[in-house]
Chain A
Amino acid sequence: MSKVKNVVIAGLGGQGVLKASDILADAAFRAGFDVKKSELHGMSQRGGSVSSDVRFGDLVLSPMVPPGEADVLLVLEATQVEINRPTLRPGGVLIGPDVLDPGALKNKKSLNVALLGAMSTALDIPEEHWLAAMYANLAEKLHTINEQAFALGRSAAIEQDTADR
């Protein structure tokens, strides 16, 4: 049985943290994995800290990522990196908003999808499922702008990955 992949997405209310985790969970679901996604969203609209856990693999039990066991931590807001860092396992991948040139985004609101693009190369989910999940979770008028954002993130991540070697 393959190991469960643990992803935590964090940021502030209104940034699209939950939308991003919906898209990730749906993409993993479309790729045929067992998926669980969990968060607390009672206060999310009031600008407070928000985080969402997504786990996928052959069989997922608890819906929450245990502290220190996240394989990937995706953070949409720089101020939220440190408070979420304890969730990351040693050697886990941190993706923060600084992986992108903020000027390159046509619409700031698609930062969540752009960062999903950056994360997409680190996860074993084919691109077709990412795109299908994005279309299913976003209003049609937002598809084009988010396609661009996703592609921007995907190329940024690849560039950074190459540069690191």
Chain B
Amino acid sequence: MTSERLLLSGDDAVALAALHAGVRLGTGYPGTPSTEILETFDQLGGRAQWSPNEKVALEVGIGTAFAGARTLVTMKHVGLNVAADPLFTAAYTDVTGGLLVVSADDPGMASSQNEQDNRHYARAAALPMLEPIDSQQAYDFTWLGLEISERWKIPVILRLTTRVCHSKTVVRPRTAPSATAEPTFERDIPARVMIPAYAKPAHHRLRQKLAEIAAWNETEGPIRLDDGASELGIVATGIAAMHAREAAPEARQLTIGLTYPLPMERIRQFADGVERLVVVEEGDPVLADTLRAAGIPAEGKPEMYRFGELNVARVRRILAGDNSPEPVPPKGKPPELCQGCSHRGVFEALRDLDCIVAGDIGCYTLGVLPPFSAMDTCVCMGASIGVGLGMRHVLPDDQARRVVSVIGDSTFVHSGITGIAEMVYNPPATGHLILILDNGTTAMTGQQEHPGTGRLLDHSPTGKISFEALAESMGVQNVHVISSQDKDQSLKDLIASLLAKPETSLLVARQPCVLAAPKIRFYEKAAAEQASQMHCTAEAAN
């Protein structure tokens, strides 16, 4: 039942499949390379919303799935660390509506702080994982993941990688969109209340579900066999499978779609039929180790290919057992803070004041590069506050007084609020200063909204969190806002005066992102017009 032919990115293919499969709600937090999934889902007419962070996004998704609705939750690989707490216990529960969790990994770190391999999460949380090789499979596996999730009442992880998310390839969607049941609440306490009395049998049920899914994967799973000579057999997953087909078209290749739980008997049969078996996988040797642990004589890759993305040239080298040094690609021009960027003045001030800067994740991390070189730490979302406090606690006073935590507006909502609680509760003797760089958008990932902008994913107005009111209510001693109208000198002076006080301080430096400012003005105007129209209507009704 082939239909129209489309050219779609992997992200767009997931969004289209979610729409066709009747997903009732998509939640997530922006993160390259996953961001476009929810944006496209919204543009196609789906209901999508940004959550403050991935943990909340998944919790909302668990709720919709418990209520019987098909659900999509999206995040980048490090986002799944934030969502890991609900993920591991959701695995024990019975979901009613399909729950598909997208983890978009970034091997090679095109735009990330690490290249963790989230295939480990499937094994650790005991959840089925699907890994598409292109946009067609991204489309198909979104459907399949929801179907597996509903059949076995288990959340399913769809693991994408940057090259699958952002490559455009040809997709033929299904012709018949799915009709799904209306959400309704059905009480099932033992399946959803994870106290030990219910969680103990639930763990056994989870293992039983996985055993059934593994058996299904052996006979009906999304496995592709490309026939070829028996001299070389390749077992591959994800985008690496496409590189392998191109690098060794003569080889016999088994490409596995549902990579946890694995179809071990199929792989064993395949291994028995070839003279040499090589595993081609990006990242950690997850598959190779599993096969070898099961006694299947599989070759992995030399350690050097654990790092970075694979490509056709690297797969050729893996197959040739070549671990000689690789040619170093020429270095391109690094990114930088935009001309006119509101962060520039802040980092000039921090540099001039010789601050020790605990930084965070966002465009402003570029403050680490010359001419600013004004960032000393960057670990994960929200870490600036805790790391800054930690340094304040133990450094000698003259150094402690130079420590500043710098965090962006979206990052602050994501994971900075608990940092304020920590600062108020455990204030360092020298006090501390948190600087929120509020540019009114999640700039790094392409200008998404968040609870501090007062606009929804589709940019329509909603409730808005005031950072300064929040900080005051939490008991921060000095709360200041400085906006774009103020001169740079006063920012520098204000930072210096706050650093001199042994008190807790929060300074919001507020100026819209130079790229987002025209759009923000447009959204604000549209919202004002809508509000005045509603006012008129209300007047008329009275």
Verify A63–B330 contact, CB threshold 8 A.
no
Choice from A25, A37, A62, A67 contacting B246 with Cβ under 8 Å? A62
Give A59-82 as 1s and 0s: 1 = Cβ < 8 Å from B's Cβ atoms: 011111011000000000001101
Instruction: Decide if the interface of chain A is mainly helix, strand, loop or mixed.
Output: mixed
The A-contacting residues of B in range 330-367, CB under 8 angstroms, are 330-338, 363, 366
Ordered by A's residue number, 5 sampled pairs between the chains whose C-beta atoms are within 8 Å are A36-B134, A38-B163, A43-B335, A49-B332, A63-B239
| Residue A39 lies at the interface, judged by CB distance under 8 Å to chain B | yes
Expressed in whole angstroms, the minimum distance between the Cβ of A142 and any Cβ of chain B is 16
Verify A47–B338 contact, CB threshold 8 A.
yes
Expressed in whole angstroms, the minimum distance between the Cβ of A108 and any Cβ of chain B is 16
> Known contacts being A29-B7, A38-B166, A62-B312, is A43 close to B111, with CB within 8 Å?
yes
A-side residues, CB < 8 A to B, are 12-13, 22, 25-26, 29, 34-43, 45-49, 51, 60-64, 66-67, 79-80, 82-84, 86
CA distance A99 to B331 in the complex (A): 25
Verify A42–B33 contact, CB threshold 8 A.
yes
| Residue B536 lies at the interface, judged by CB distance under 8 Å to chain A | no
Give B463-485 as 1s and 0s: 1 = Cβ < 8 Å from A's Cβ atoms: 00000000000000000000000
Q: Please name all residues of chain A whose beta carbon is closer than 8 Å to the beta carbon of B334 when the two chains form the complex.
A: 48-49
Which bucket holds chain B's interface residue count? 35 or more
Verify A86–B330 contact, CB threshold 8 A.
yes
Verify B332–A83 contact, CB threshold 8 A.
yes
Closest 7 CB pairs of A and B: A42-B111, A49-B332, A46-B335, A48-B335, A83-B330, A40-B110, A63-B167
Known contacts A67-B313, A67-B329; 6 additional CB pairs below 8 A are A37-B167, A42-B32, A46-B363, A63-B169, A66-B312, A82-B330
Expressed in whole angstroms, the minimum distance between the Cβ of A36 and any Cβ of chain B is 5
Give B257-269 as 1s and 0s: 1 = Cβ < 8 Å from A's Cβ atoms: 0000000000000
The A-contacting residues of B in range 103-121, CB under 8 angstroms, are 106, 108, 110-112
| Residue B327 lies at the interface, judged by CB distance under 8 Å to chain A | yes
Verify A12–B333 contact, CB threshold 8 A.
yes
CA distance A60 to B332 in the complex (A): 27
Q: Nearest residue in B to A42 (C-beta to C-beta)?
A: B111
CA distance A26 to B245 in the complex (A): 24
Verify B170–A46 contact, CB threshold 8 A.
no
Q: Please name all residues of chain A whose beta carbon is closer than 8 Å to the beta carbon of B331 when the two chains form the complex.
A: 83
| Residue B201 lies at the interface, judged by CB distance under 8 Å to chain A | no
Q: Please name all residues of chain B whose beta carbon is closer than 8 Å to the beta carbon of A25 when the two chains form the complex.
A: 7, 168
> Known contacts being A38-B163, A63-B169, A67-B327, is A46 close to B333, with CB within 8 Å?
no
CA distance A41 to B169 in the complex (A): 16
Q: Nearest residue in A to B9 (C-beta to C-beta)?
A: A37
Expressed in whole angstroms, the minimum distance between the Cβ of A132 and any Cβ of chain B is 13
Give B439-452 as 1s and 0s: 1 = Cβ < 8 Å from A's Cβ atoms: 00000001000000
Choice from A34, A38, A45, A86 contacting B170 with Cβ under 8 Å? A34
Verify B167–A40 contact, CB threshold 8 A.
no
CA distance A82 to B332 in the complex (A): 10
Verify B337–A62 contact, CB threshold 8 A.
no
Expressed in whole angstroms, the minimum distance between the Cβ of A4 and any Cβ of chain B is 9
| Residue B311 lies at the interface, judged by CB distance under 8 Å to chain A | yes
Verify A64–B166 contact, CB threshold 8 A.
no
| Residue B51 lies at the interface, judged by CB distance under 8 Å to chain A | no
Choice from A35, A42, A48, A61 contacting B332 with Cβ under 8 Å? A48
Verify A43–B327 contact, CB threshold 8 A.
no
Verify A35–B32 contact, CB threshold 8 A.
no
The A-contacting residues of B in range 287-332, CB under 8 angstroms, are 311-313, 327, 329-332
Choice from B32, B169, B335 contacting A36 with Cβ under 8 Å? B169
| Residue B243 lies at the interface, judged by CB distance under 8 Å to chain A | yes
> Known contacts being A61-B242, A62-B242, is A46 close to B366, with CB within 8 Å?
yes
Q: Nearest residue in B to A21 (C-beta to C-beta)?
A: B168
Verify B311–A46 contact, CB threshold 8 A.
no
Q: Nearest residue in A to B333 (C-beta to C-beta)?
A: A49
CA distance A26 to B162 in the complex (A): 21
CA distance A86 to B7 in the complex (A): 28
Q: Nearest residue in B to A38 (C-beta to C-beta)?
A: B167
Q: Please name all residues of chain B whose beta carbon is closer than 8 Å to the beta carbon of A48 when the two chains form the complex.
A: 332-336
> Known contacts being A34-B170, A35-B168, A39-B166, is A62 close to B332, with CB within 8 Å?
no
| Residue B515 lies at the interface, judged by CB distance under 8 Å to chain A | yes
Q: Please name all residues of chain B whose beta carbon is closer than 8 Å to the beta carbon of A49 when the two chains form the complex.
A: 332-334
Choice from A22, A35, A66 contacting B169 with Cβ under 8 Å? A35
Q: Nearest residue in A to B336 (C-beta to C-beta)?
A: A47
Q: Nearest residue in B to A51 (C-beta to C-beta)?
A: B332
CA distance A18 to B342 in the complex (A): 26
CA distance A34 to B7 in the complex (A): 9
Q: Please name all residues of chain B whose beta carbon is closer than 8 Å to the beta carbon of A83 when the two chains form the complex.
A: 330-332
Verify B338–A36 contact, CB threshold 8 A.
no
Expressed in whole angstroms, the minimum distance between the Cβ of B228 and any Cβ of chain A is 14
CA distance A61 to B363 in the complex (A): 34
Verify A64–B312 contact, CB threshold 8 A.
yes
Expressed in whole angstroms, the minimum distance between the Cβ of A97 and any Cβ of chain B is 15
Q: Please name all residues of chain B whose beta carbon is closer than 8 Å to the beta carbon of A80 when the two chains form the complex.
A: 332-333
CA distance A139 to B134 in the complex (A): 28
Q: Please name all residues of chain B whose beta carbon is closer than 8 Å to the beta carbon of A82 when the two chains form the complex.
A: 330
Q: Nearest residue in A to B33 (C-beta to C-beta)?
A: A42
Choice from A42, A84, A86 contacting B110 with Cβ under 8 Å? A42
CA distance A145 to B446 in the complex (A): 26
Give B219-255 as 1s and 0s: 1 = Cβ < 8 Å from A's Cβ atoms: 0000000000000000000010011011000000000
Give B125-136 as 1s and 0s: 1 = Cβ < 8 Å from A's Cβ atoms: 000000000100
Q: Please name all residues of chain B whose beta carbon is closer than 8 Å to the beta carbon of A63 when the two chains form the complex.
A: 134, 163, 167, 169, 239, 242
Verify B246–A61 contact, CB threshold 8 A.
yes
Verify B337–A46 contact, CB threshold 8 A.
yes
Q: Nearest residue in A to B243 (C-beta to C-beta)?
A: A62
